[in-house]
Amino acid sequence: MISNHEIDYKLYGEEMQYVEIELDNGETVLAEAGSFMMMHEGIKMSTIFGDGSTQGGGFMGKIFTAGKRLLTGESLFMTAFTNENSYKSKVSFAAPYPGKIIPLDLSMLGGKIICQKDSFLCSAKGVQIGIEFQRKLGTGLFGGEGFIMQKLEGDGMAFMHAGGHVMERELEVGEKLLIDTGCIVAFTSRVQYDIEFVKGIRNVLFGGEGLFYATLRGPGKVWLQTLPISRLASRVISYGGSTGRKEEGSILGSLGNLLDGD
């Protein structure tokens, strides 16, 4: 494994953020395809297999690393940005939808973070981006978005993106949170992840929140989001099938459309 490159950064914006990363000569940052925003002249952009952390493994080693990314729904390739100038230069990456960019210093977080498969934005070269299978059968069958997750390992900087507002919380030993599976962004390696059935037949039939909770039990740190991209996408799709006003789907809204001639 190559050593992690040390990078400096600055966050800009509120709801639609971007991160500006400052690179010394020879330093490299890796990013998901499509997250690039702008860069200084003299920074070289190149496409690589996997996360670039595999060395000496030959072609098959690179194929294996890239193949793991396919299981999390990501591309086989990542983009590397290397500063070839003799002076410091900057490259910036933008958030894909409204929310917050979360900087993670892996050296301060036990060297490993487990995160949702679509949350990774970019990282210093040397950070390994792999997959994390949830071990329990119930979690695998009913965990939805949480069955196959990404893991970030190393001692460098990594950046995640989450939708809406982000809550960061430290769980004490044995402390437990019940959460919608899509609202989990990430957690440290000591946090236990599981699935629980929603109790009460009325809650199951009429609650509108699904049949299962995700549970996180401490100790460790967790990050939660208020607007999962799956929830945002479903709302957009539900309003995309008609050219008329939806008015939140209410009866009064439909009457208003009739009175307006819509």
In 17-73, at which residue ranges do the beta strands (DSSP E only) sit? 18-23, 28-31, 36-39, 43-49
Two structure tokens written together for 34 = 């499509």
Two structure tokens written together for 39 = 């860069």
Question: pTM of whole model > 0.85?
Answer: no
Query: Tokens 């008329």 belong to which residue?
Result: 244
- At CA 173, angle to CA 168 and CA 179, rounded to 5? 45
- What does the pLDDT read at residue 76? 67
Q: Identify the architecture of domain 8-240 in CATH.
A: 4-Layer Sandwich (3.60)
**Element of type H or E holding 234:** helix 229-238
The number of residues making up the chain comes to 262
Tell me the three-class secondary structure of 101-116, residue by residue: EEEEEHHHCCCEEEEC
Q: Which residue from 114, 112, 54, 42 is spatially nearest to 78, judged by alpha carbons?
A: 54
Q: What residue spans define the domains of the chain?
A: 8-240
pLDDT 10s per residue in the chain (262 long)? 445 677 899 999 988 899 999 999 999 999 988 899 999 999 999 988 765 555 445 555 555 555 555 555 556 678 999 999 999 999 999 998 889 999 999 999 999 999 988 889 999 988 988 888 765 544 444 444 445 788 999 999 999 999 999 999 999 999 999 988 889 999 999 999 888 776 654 544 444 455 678 899 999 999 999 988 877 777 778 776 555 444 444 444 444 444 444 4
Specify which residues 49 forms β-bridges with: 77
d(CA 2, CA 104) in angstroms, rounded, equals 19
Bridge-based pairing of strands 176-179 and 212-217 is antiparallel
What one-letter code names the amino acid at 81? F
Contact 77, 65 (CB under 8 A): no
Query: Tokens 């409204």 belong to which residue?
Result: 98
